[in-house]
Amino acid sequence: MMDLRRSAMSIAVPVMLLGAVGLWPGTADHWFAHGPIQQGHADVACRDCHQPSPGTTRQQIQAKLHHALGLRAEAADFGRASVSSAQCLECHQRPNERHPIYRFREPRFIEAVRTVQADDCLGCHSEHDAARVAIDTRFCAACHGDLKLANDPVNIPHMTLIKNNKWGTCLGCHDFHGNHAYTPPTQVQHMLPERAVQGYFRQGDSPYGPFKLFEADSQ
């Protein structure tokens, strides 16, 4: 009898704790996340990105079965819909975006997108990941291999850097999205070291400075 009571308690206590966390207001739902929360997203609720899937539970199960049997062309989400760029842009769309994802959906960027999935926010970023940016710092090579500037402002011309395969220097001068209040240097020796940019990719502080031209909207 005592063993049964202990077994019941060993099950009941964790269930009660999980229930209490689930009812706790604020950001307690992050306790159930599948990985780390990005800096700046601590106050964003899970439901702000993970929207309910369309249809009833029965319809969702039916749609998944039809897809598995080949009777439906597209897969169906169960419970919560997959997160897409649409959720990201609800907060992060800005008028000063230098590399908007819609630009990379143009046919001329087909080859580049095969290397870097820049036509989707989640092609470079992931929420439940230890890294802010999940690709290599040298991704600029996908688009700028033929870059030529008539009046190059840098003491070592871009063409020379490209010829010498110095793609690790690009983000040392250029802020990819262009939202930090940062002026690119004209002297290569003054550029940010690649390790500083790599640290930023891994959730470190911004090497471009803390000030942004546009703050992300809050939900």
Confidence of residue 12 (pLDDT cuts 50, 70, 90): very low
More confident of the two residues 33 and 162? 162
Which pLDDT tens digit goes with each residue over 15-66?
A: 444 444 444 444 445 556 677 788 788 888 888 888 888 888 888 888 888 8
Over range 101-128, report the average pLDDT.
94
Percent of the chain at pLDDT > 70 equals: 84
Q: How far apart are CA 172 and CA 190, in angstroms?
A: 9
More confident of the two residues 12 and 119? 119
Over range 107-120, report the average pLDDT.
95
Task: Note the pTM of the prediction, 2 decimals.
Answer: 0.75
Cβ distance 33 to 128 under 8 Å?
yes
What are the Cα distances from residue 140, in Å, to 28, 48, 166, 171? 38, 31, 10, 9
pLDDT at 143: 95
Among 13-27, 111-125, 129-143, which is the least confidently predicted range?
13-27
pLDDT at 27: 45
Structure token digits, residue 182: 């940062």
Please state, as a whole number, how many other Cβ atoms lie within 10 Å of the Cβ of residue 200.
19
